[in-house]
Amino acid sequence: MAASPGRPPTGRWLRPPDLLAAATSAAAGATVVGGGAALASAAFPHVLGAEPVDLARLDLATCTPPLVGAMVTLDRLATDPMVAAGWPAIAEAAGLTATPEVRRLATIGGTVAARVPTADLPTALCAHGGAVHLHDGKRAWTMGLHDYLVEPAEALITGIDLGRQAPSAYRRLAGRPGPAPAVAAVAGILAPEGLQLWAGAVAGQPIPFDGQQPPPRSRLRDDDRASAAYRHRLLSVLADDVRTQLEETT
Amino acid sequence: MRLKVDGTLHEVDGGPTRVLADVLRDDLGVTSVKVGCREGACGACVALVDGVAVPTCLVHLGRVEGAEVVTVSTASATPVGERLVEAIVREGGLQCGFCTPGVVCAAVSLAGQEREWSEPEVRQALAGHLCRCTGYMSLVRAVHQVLSEVPA
């Protein structure tokens, strides 16, 4: 049995009545709880503050692609027919995240906000050119998803724009079959201007590349799970797989 | 904080950021909920929260205030739950029993979807449950048998 994390309990659990109140609390530094999975998991650093702000009762779970509410679960994203038809790489990436049970808890907003380098979804969202809808209690605005991953805004994520519809595919390799963090992943879309690829799980954020050459080794993570050289080679293989998949699709 | 577990209403305390698995085991004595990994990867702590199978180690108490939690005690007593238990025994899908409560809860949840299931789909649906004894084949076979009997 895993040792108890020994995290000190906090006294209050805020359920803001509306988006404005939630955004104001978030801007003031409260920890926002979407699905809550990463916040409770022993696999991630303990970041839950003294007064968590729970979004569960706000109307943020509407899935009307390309706009998806922040509280839409990864399970819903993986099984929504419209997402699967117009943004297949995103549906595939959502369906490959963690376990079926975790996907019923984890939300798209929480997944983006957590900015976990090995997460599947951000790579596919970057490939489609997704964007993040934000609110800080004073104003609402939108920023590119990749920009958010590089430098997140101190604001509440209210929704995600999935980006443009296009044939797309997502491939990953992990240390074992089934639920396990990816060692490397590639998402690709067939845009009018050609194939566009993004490498995931190999650095702090997804990295775009042209399909001929993966990103240089100097930009890739080199750790006890895989060397940069291995990841570089792996990206080539996964990119070929994505390319083949898209050629067969079209 | 009020929590309904297997039909009984409980008052629990200790703070809203405690995780449900700890509350069930330590406060309410529901030891059928096992704690294996504390990161949602093993499935041993899965129970039904408002009908949805979730890893209770990843659910904060604050989130489930007023919710209805069903553990294997209740899930296995439903008609489909009884058939699942029989099938798991018949197929030899258990040994130490650590994974069994979570698997039964998950399978009862799958049966509630009232759709057809292929064996690969069952395997995929149970991908979040680790079994270190029987090697999955018998578990998947048992769950698939029962789901095949549920009207789609």
Q: Are B93 and B141 in contact (CB under 8 A)?
A: yes
Nearest CA in chain B to A4: B38
Contact A105 B53 (CB under 8 A): no
Per-residue pLDDT of chain A (250 residues; tens, 9 = 90+): 333 444 555 578 999 999 999 999 888 888 999 999 989 998 888 888 778 999 999 999 999 999 999 999 999 999 999 999 999 999 999 999 999 999 999 999 999 999 999 999 999 999 999 999 999 999 999 999 999 999 999 899 999 999 999 999 999 999 877 778 999 999 999 999 999 999 999 999 999 998 789 999 999 999 999 999 999 999 999 999 999 999 988 7
Q: Is B95 exposed, middle or buried (0-12, 13-18, 19+ CB in 10 A)?
A: middle
Instruction: Give every strand in the sheet of B8-11, ordered side by side.
Output: B8-11, B2-5, B68-70, B46-49, B52-55
Q: pLDDT value at position A6? A: 47
User: Is B119's Cβ below 8 Å from some Cβ in A?
Assistant: no
B96 confidence band (pLDDT: 50, 70, 90): very high
- Interface A-B: count of C-beta contacts within 8 A: 100
Q: pLDDT value at position A210? A: 85
B114 confidence band (pLDDT: 50, 70, 90): confident
Query: CA B130, CA A176: separation in Å to the nearest integer?
Result: 13
Contact B40 A9 (CB under 8 A): no
ipTM of the complex: 0.93
Q: Are A65 and A86 in contact (CB under 8 A)?
A: yes
Q: pLDDT value at position A9? A: 53
Segments in chain B forming alpha helices (H)? 20-22, 72-75, 79-90, 100-111, 119-125, 137-149
The SS3 of residue A47 is: coil
The amino acid occupying position A28 is A
Q: pLDDT value at position A212? A: 80
Query: CA B18, CA B31: separation in Å to the nearest integer?
Result: 17
Contact B46 A101 (CB under 8 A): yes
pLDDT per residue as tens digits for the range B14-69: 889 999 999 999 999 999 999 999 999 999 999 999 999 999 999 999 999 989 99
Average pLDDT, chain B: 94
Q: pLDDT value at position B1? A: 87
Contact B40 A102 (CB under 8 A): yes
Tell me the shortest Cα–Cα distance from B50 to chain A, in angstroms.
12
Q: pLDDT value at position A1? A: 37
CA separation (Å) from A151 to A115, A148, A154, A244, B54?
10, 5, 10, 34, 32
Interior angle at CA B119, CA B113 and CA B124, nearest 5 = 70
Q: pLDDT value at position A27? A: 84
Q: pLDDT value at position A214? A: 94
List CB contacts (< 8 A) between A119 and chain B: none
Residue B64's nearest CA partner among B55, B73, B72 is B55
* Tokens encoding B45: 């702590």
Higher pLDDT, A43 or B99: B99
- Quote the distance between the C-alpha of residue A242 and its chain's center: 19
Minimum-distance CB partner of A40 among B58, B124, B125: B58
Q: What predicted TM-score, i.e. pTM, was given to this entire model?
A: 0.93
B88 confidence band (pLDDT: 50, 70, 90): very high
